[in-house]
Chains A and B, each alone.
Chain A
């Protein structure tokens, strides 16, 4: 079975004066049609660089140095720039955190959406404009025919993000990469945009890679979640499982440190849990597990320099932590038994 998007062992590095930064250090995940994968982590964990790598928008001196990005079975990393340009904005679209800086201030929003249609669909000016208005209508911009003549600064933040989404979706992409699309928005507007994204992926079978630091957003809309730390995925899990039973000590710590609207939190009977220390510098990562120095479950093995693998557990859970070495072995055993059992029948 092949996936719509399959990222295999992706490595994106940035040489800096302080040393080589492995911003993305062996990231693998997949995404199917109509699915929403949340890629979460704190600043500097490599989640945005992963997204930009998929779009092949890494600017020098940054470089994708290894891995594969299979889209519909085709490795994007071996395509010519010309072919990639045809895919970008057509089959794969991206939206960014700040719609103000991603829109051109000197063109009307209608012209900007129409441009995508003219480039990728060879539409006439008139048809492209009609398509742009149609796209704006679909993302619920009120009075789209009039709004198409507005410049970005005339729109509110929420409307700009809707226009960005309209532009991204104008060419009917199969995959939408959304990098913190609601972070700059107020919560009531964020709720509108999340609802829109959720609806679009259902009606269009759109696959969405949602990059965010907000665990609440992920819980609301994601099917699966991958948690990143220092350029690596440390845990990947179906969303219910991740929030009910976080496996990696980092995920667990993150979930505990979020202030929640619960009676206990509001009544201040619970103090917020914290993760000790800070994220290590990317040029000075600790040996072995990068989270070990902050981890309360640390074992001697964690700091001995071993590259901890992602262990496969049952139920589609993967976790990069030696605490699950045994559990993974058990899961593998039962998997073997099941296959043998099936074979015997």
Chain B
């Protein structure tokens, strides 16, 4: 079970349901949860246009992990700022250790950020605790990479998918059974299998179970942390299509975290590229593909093997490895591997600036960057 998301799991809550929970479950004394419905609705009209459409706002997020036996810290997330518009899929892409999963977990407060602000539908996520935090989490769920490790092998599918309902005290036994059956149908599984155990399912089917569990509370936001990375290609396509269908049907907003740029580009509305704890570029998926500006983004794009042997292209092969996040390079963190680096890059730590409408990048070598205004909230105090 998703440990941490359900801290204090034994404590049963007597509240009702978040609004909009499907039929079949009574909705008594619905708690006033910080509501983002209206903002999400507005987002569909004018996507990405103004702050009002934001579902999530992250400002100057830091997460430093202590290193055992030393005063050093791992700067896993080191000053990250972004927004997620209601109804969109924001892709968060980067290589292992860049901090992308840590960002996702901080967002749900599965781990405590070191500092920074996180707003969800206008409410301050970091200021909440106890019951308030738990209620907020009904609206924010997570799907994990490994469908083998994230499902309790000793629980039946019915117990796994129904557990969030139990924890949040929703419905009686029969209502929950009906809800689980409904959820399984939604993710393309036969409800007759609900009394089976996870080991009886294939990897793709297990990931569907994880998705059904995430949907159980009718969330607004789903953080999908490498949800298809462990799956075979043919199964991966099925799960990607399922996520897209569910998004339409339930008006979901996704933070889609992955190291696979092709998958991220396929599913995302906008994409944020991370390197060593920082976001280096954010723009729409279309623009990122057509006009990547940051040298790291360009290297990533060119490094992806393309299933087309006739396309013999110039690959930008980056030299060396990603530096350690314990002691990141001075100036721009990418300068040690950057093919475009100049001496100034070791000195100037570039912030994210909007160099074209809806296209922000952190690189002093990008034309127009020097003149562009600093993104709001990027530099924390």
B309 at the interface (CB under 8 A from A): yes
- Give complex CA distance A279, B204 in Å: 11
Q: Given that A243-B309, A265-B266 are contacting pairs, would A257 and B95 also be in contact in the complex, using a CB cutoff of 8 Å?
A: no
Within 8 A of A (CB), among B198-214: 202-205
Residues of A contacting B306 with CB < 8 Å?
216, 219-220, 260-261
Distance to closest chain A CB from B145 (angstroms): 14
Q: Per-residue CB proximity of A188-207 to B under 8 Å, as 1/0? A: 11111011000000000000
- Give complex CA distance A267, B238 in Å: 19
A259 touches B309 (CB 8 A): no
- Give complex CA distance A255, B299 in Å: 24
Residues of B contacting A259 with CB < 8 Å?
237, 240, 260, 262-263, 265-267
Distance to closest chain B CB from A112 (angstroms): 20
Residues of B contacting A99 with CB < 8 Å?
none
A278 touches B266 (CB 8 A): no
- Give complex CA distance A157, B170 in Å: 46
Say what secondary structure dominates the interface of chain A: helix
11 residue pairs A–B, Cβ–Cβ below 8 Å = A187-B259, A187-B300, A191-B318, A194-B305, A219-B307, A258-B307, A259-B260, A261-B306, A266-B286, A267-B286, A275-B237
A43 touches B305 (CB 8 A): no
- Give complex CA distance A268, B240 in Å: 12
B301 at the interface (CB under 8 A from A): yes
Q: Given that A259-B265, A266-B266, A266-B289 are contacting pairs, would A216 and B307 also be in contact in the complex, using a CB cutoff of 8 Å?
A: yes
19 further A-B contacts with Cβ under 8 Å, apart from A142-B320, A243-B307, are: A42-B234, A156-B322, A186-B95, A187-B261, A187-B300, A187-B305, A190-B303, A191-B315, A192-B317, A218-B307, A239-B309, A259-B266, A260-B307, A261-B289, A263-B289, A265-B266, A266-B266, A274-B241, A279-B202
- Give complex CA distance A239, B311 in Å: 12
B304 touches A216 (CB 8 A): yes
Distance to closest chain B CB from A41 (angstroms): 9
A226 at the interface (CB under 8 A from B): no
Within 8 A of B (CB), among A274-296: 274-275, 278-279
Q: Per-residue CB proximity of A222-238 to B under 8 Å, as 1/0? A: 10000000000000000
B233 at the interface (CB under 8 A from A): yes
Q: Given that A186-B96, A266-B265 are contacting pairs, would A191 and B233 also be in contact in the complex, using a CB cutoff of 8 Å?
A: no
B305 touches A190 (CB 8 A): yes
B303 touches A274 (CB 8 A): no
A219's partner among B233, B301, B308 (CB-CB below 8 A) is: B308
Chain A residues engaging chain B, CB cutoff 8 angstroms: 42-43, 142, 156-159, 186-192, 194-195, 213-220, 222, 239-240, 243-244, 253-255, 257-261, 263, 265-268, 271-275, 278-279
- Closest B residue to A272 by CB, please name it: B237
B192 at the interface (CB under 8 A from A): no
Q: How many inter-chain residue pairs (CB < 8 Å) link A and B?
A: 140
A42 touches B321 (CB 8 A): no
Central interface residue in A188, A195, A275, by most chain B CB within 10 Å: A188
Distance to closest chain A CB from B237 (angstroms): 4
B234's partner among A189, A243, A254, A268 (CB-CB below 8 A) is: A254
Q: Given that A253-B234, A257-B237, A266-B266 are contacting pairs, would A240 and B309 also be in contact in the complex, using a CB cutoff of 8 Å?
A: yes
- Give complex CA distance A222, B244 in Å: 33
Q: Given that A158-B321, A265-B265, A266-B286 are contacting pairs, would A216 and B305 also be in contact in the complex, using a CB cutoff of 8 Å?
A: yes
- Closest B residue to A275 by CB, please name it: B234
Distance to closest chain A CB from B314 (angstroms): 12
> Top 10 nearest A-B pairs by Cβ distance?
A216-B305, A257-B237, A259-B266, A186-B95, A42-B232, A191-B303, A272-B237, A275-B234, A187-B303, A266-B289
B381 at the interface (CB under 8 A from A): no
Residues of A contacting B308 with CB < 8 Å?
219, 243, 260
B232 touches A43 (CB 8 A): yes
B232 touches A215 (CB 8 A): no
B309 touches A219 (CB 8 A): yes
Q: Given that A188-B300, A240-B309 are contacting pairs, would A260 and B241 also be in contact in the complex, using a CB cutoff of 8 Å?
A: no
Distance to closest chain A CB from B203 (angstroms): 8
B310 at the interface (CB under 8 A from A): yes
B108 at the interface (CB under 8 A from A): no
- Give complex CA distance A330, B232 in Å: 36
Central interface residue in B262, B286, B307, B315, by most chain A CB within 10 Å: B307
Residues of B contacting A273 with CB < 8 Å?
237
Distance to closest chain B CB from A17 (angstroms): 14
B67 at the interface (CB under 8 A from A): no
- Closest A residue to B320 by CB, please name it: A142
Residues of A contacting B236 with CB < 8 Å?
257
A278's partner among B202, B263, B299, B318 (CB-CB below 8 A) is: B202
Distance to closest chain A CB from B196 (angstroms): 15
Residues of B contacting A240 with CB < 8 Å?
309-310
B235 touches A278 (CB 8 A): yes
Residues of A contacting B317 with CB < 8 Å?
188, 191-192, 195
B285 at the interface (CB under 8 A from A): yes
B149 at the interface (CB under 8 A from A): no
Residues of B contacting A215 with CB < 8 Å?
233, 307
- Closest B residue to A221 by CB, please name it: B305
- Give complex CA distance A194, B303 in Å: 10
- Give complex CA distance A272, B266 in Å: 9
B240 touches A272 (CB 8 A): yes
- Closest A residue to B237 by CB, please name it: A257
Q: Given that A159-B321, A187-B95, A259-B240 are contacting pairs, would A42 and B233 also be in contact in the complex, using a CB cutoff of 8 Å?
A: yes
Residues of B contacting A195 with CB < 8 Å?
315, 317
- Closest A residue to B306 by CB, please name it: A216
B290 at the interface (CB under 8 A from A): yes
